[in-house]
Amino acid sequence: MKTTSILRKLLIFVLAPMMTLALITACSDDDNGMIVDPPNGNGNGDEEQTIVEIAQGNDDFSILVDLVVQADLVDVLATEELTVFAPTNSAFEALFETVDPDELTEEQIVEILTFHVTAGTVLSTDFIAGDNAVEMLNEELTLVQAAATGVLINGFSNVTSADITASNGVIHAVDAVLLPSQFRDPSIVELALADEEGRFDTLASLVDGASGDGLELLLRLQYLQGYTAFAPTNEAFANLDVNVDELSTDQLRGILTYHVVQDVEGGPIFSTDLTDQQTVPTLAQEEPVYVTVTDDGVFVNRTAQVVVADIEGANGVIHAIDEVLLPNLAIPVPGIVSKNYNLSTLLGLVAEREEILQILSDPDEEFTVFAPTNEAFEEALAAFPDLTEEEITEILTYHVIAGAAIQSGDLEDGQEAETFQGEDITVSIEGDDVFINNAQVTTADLNGTNGVVHIIDAVLVPPSFLD
């Protein structure tokens, strides 16, 4: 199914009235007659029996069989080639503790049951390791996650018995009932797509366009727990210097994932959990965003302000922001420095020197920048209180190697390199620790569009200053 259709269904769902809790489960206590006689099978699979016959022969699927009969789905499940994720009796009974199954209409039962069935024969070995998007007969997608420990559906339903083969497909027993969209509270994805004020229309269209082969990512944001999304408004995208229409799918996906944080154990991050100088890893290969809190509000990457906080969904929370966050691979080296609150002193000194800023922003050049922290500059400026503007410029350019983006893995003990200032720096390696002159590299390999930044814990002083 196309992603557009999925998102349209999600929009319709969120805008529709919420279903009551009594519509969560499916079963009837009525004594429905069986259309086919139960065989004497043991429920472990028989390629000469249909899916329905195998289910009827397995006492653990008796509630499911009753529902199939009630919904008039026997012929479909007995004749079409299908894969059924079959909830066990205990899966249904777990829901019966809080709801009355007699509340469901036949149409609602059909919707739930068809959300457990996909076309064709899909064995457990057909699920690649990781995430898989599987379209069900009700035209919604499920997230099937396969690992060495087993198969998990939509983040909570485990396959307890796989590959029960039949003449017309296969059954996978699951330990929890899967619920289609009309029976669920909206996720953060669904909330953003259906925002009543239309604040995230541009974001919604980009999520749709970025899905493609990354549809599994969209499903993770829909089904899994603990997400925090910093969602740019329409105006934020309108003010973006980057033309998103020219971005590749991978680049667009990288930008979107850079706005999302997942912490399953700690849960979503509400506004009251955001603190000044907080570093939070994102889904963009764990590249962090940087949170600062001032009297003016909460900011991400120093300039993107949270304008609406704590839009809560079933699986997380959204904070609307007024700027688009760009990961390192979408910005030049000055951008990498500018968003990190711990490099604000370096940023201020470079910003005062337009010529240096323009050089480091050149998209046709490559640079390696060793970036001292605020604390490092505080110590250095205390040690050299009488520096002239020209001397500060020399110190800054002594932290830059032009013409190459040197990764930490390429650094060798005793290696020397000429800086933009003209004097050499010296590399020393002690175990896992890397030093540039006397400064230790504390964070390495922050790669941007035109080079790499390595954060260091001391300011590099040109040798000529020490003569």
Q: In what order do the strands lie in the sheet with 433-436?
A: 400-402, 367-372, 451-456, 439-448, 433-436, 424-430, 416-418
Alpha-carbon span 263 to 246, nearest angstrom: 32
Q: What is the pLDDT of residue 210?
A: 62
pTM of the model: 0.81
> Range of 95's domain?
19-183
Please indicate, yes or no, whether residues 203 and 282 belong to a single structural domain of this protein.
yes
Please indicate, yes or no, whether residues 30 and 158 belong to a single structural domain of this protein.
yes
In a domain, 10, yes or no: no
User: Is 85:116 a contact under the CB 8 Å cutoff?
Assistant: yes
Last residue of a domain, one of 284, 309, 329: 329
In a domain, 9, yes or no: no
Helix (H, G, I), strand (E, B) or coil at 262: strand
User: Is 159:85 a contact under the CB 8 Å cutoff?
Assistant: yes
Alpha-carbon span 431 to 151, nearest angstrom: 41
Alpha-carbon span 381 to 333, nearest angstrom: 24
Please indicate, yes or no, whether residues 306 and 335 belong to a single structural domain of this protein.
no
* Angle formed at CA 295 by CA 293 and CA 296, multiple of 5 degrees: 85
In a domain, 110, yes or no: yes
In a domain, 6, yes or no: no
Alpha-carbon span 101 to 375, nearest angstrom: 63
Please indicate, yes or no, whether residues 99 and 149 belong to a single structural domain of this protein.
yes
Structure tokens belonging to residue 286? 């764990």
Q: Could you give the C-alpha distances from 171 to 118, 133, 168, in angstroms and in order? A: 11, 18, 10
Output the CA torsion sign for 184, 269, 259, 445: negative
Site of tokens 């557009």 = 4
Q: What is the pLDDT of residue 211?
A: 63
Does an H or E element contain 317, and which?
strand 316-321
Helix (H, G, I), strand (E, B) or coil at 242: coil
Please indicate, yes or no, whether residues 201 and 112 belong to a single structural domain of this protein.
no
Please indicate, yes or no, whether residues 96 and 158 belong to a single structural domain of this protein.
yes
Please indicate, yes or no, whether residues 25 and 174 belong to a single structural domain of this protein.
yes
In order along its 467 residues, the chain shows pLDDT tens digits of 333 333 333 222 222 222 222 222 233 333 332 223 333 333 466 678 999 999 999 999 999 999 999 999 999 999 999 999 999 999 999 987 776 778 888 999 999 999 999 999 999 999 998 899 999 999 999 999 999 889 999 999 999 999 999 999 999 999 999 999 988 899 998 898 888 899 999 998 887 666 665 678 888 989 999 999 999 999 999 999 888 878 888 888 889 999 999 987 888 999 999 999 999 999 998 899 999 999 999 999 999 999 999 999 999 999 999 999 999 999 999 999 999 999 999 999 999 999 999 999 999 999 999 999 999 999 999 999 999 999 999 999 999 999 999 999 999 999 999 999 999 999 999 999 999 999 999 999 999 999 999 999 999 999 998 77
User: Is 56:39 a contact under the CB 8 Å cutoff?
Assistant: yes
What end-to-end distance do the CA atoms of the chain give, in Å? 71
Please indicate, yes or no, whether residues 202 and 310 belong to a single structural domain of this protein.
yes
Q: What is the pLDDT of residue 419?
A: 97
Please indicate, yes or no, whether residues 28 and 155 belong to a single structural domain of this protein.
yes
- Among candidate residues 98, 65, 101, 104, the one with its CA nearest the CA of residue 84: 65
Last residue of a domain, one of 130, 149, 183: 183
* Phi, psi (rounded to 5 degrees) for 457: -100, 10
Q: How many CB atoms lie within 10 A of CB 360?
A: 25
Please indicate, yes or no, whether residues 418 and 324 belong to a single structural domain of this protein.
no
Q: What is the pLDDT of residue 42?
A: 37
Residues 6 or more apart whose Cβ sits within 8 Å of residue 38? 53, 56, 57
Q: Please count the structural domains in the chain.
A: 3
Last residue of a domain, one of 296, 329, 362: 329
Q: For residue 101, is it left (φ>0), alpha (ψ between -120 and 50) or beta?
A: alpha
Q: What is the pLDDT of residue 97?
A: 76
In a domain, 422, yes or no: yes
Q: What is the pLDDT of residue 237?
A: 95
Structure tokens belonging to residue 10? 């999600």
In a domain, 53, yes or no: yes
Please indicate, yes or no, whether residues 224 and 355 belong to a single structural domain of this protein.
no
Cβ density class 212-236: b for 16+ within 10 Å, e for less: eebbbbbbbbbbbebbbbbbbbbeb
Q: Could you give the C-alpha distances from 204 to 6, 7, 169, 191, 213, in angstroms and in order? A: 12, 9, 37, 10, 17
* Phi, psi (rounded to 5 degrees) for 136: -95, 170
In a domain, 7, yes or no: no
CATH number at residue 193: 2.30.180.10
**Beta bridge mates, 288:** 281
Please indicate, yes or no, whether residues 149 and 242 belong to a single structural domain of this protein.
no
In a domain, 8, yes or no: no
Q: What is the pLDDT of residue 193?
A: 85
Alpha-carbon span 365 to 108, nearest angstrom: 61
